[in-house]
Amino acid sequence: MENPFELILEKLNTLESLIRNQKSNGIPPDTNTKPDNEIFTINQTSEFLHLAKSTIYKMTSDRTIPHFKMKKRIYFKRKV
């Protein structure tokens, strides 16, 4: 029987290699790991969409992006 620590080390090395290859190929991290019903703040939305907060505020003002307010704060559903 194989040493369990060697097996764990082998799997960690494989994962490390995959991560290194992903980074070197310029592949962005998977963004589909979050739940579909997650609610984003303005900062999270800005980061997720790669847009400035001012652009998102303008889009909410123009009603071009779905949003809702709770206690005077703006929130966005990740999936509508």
Tens of pLDDT, residues 29-74: 554 555 556 899 999 999 989 999 999 999 999 999 999 999 889 9
Reply yes or no on whether the pLDDT at 80 is more than 80: no
DSSP lists the bridge partners of residue 70 as 73
**Who wins on pLDDT, 10 or 25?**
10
Distance CA 29, CA 23 (A): 9
**Dihedrals phi, psi of 48, to nearest 5 degrees:** -65, -40
The C-alpha atoms of residue 73 and residue 9 are separated, in whole angstroms, by 47
Give the integer Cα–Cα distance in Å for 47 and 41: 10
Distance CA 23, CA 32 (A): 17
pTM, two decimals, is 0.52
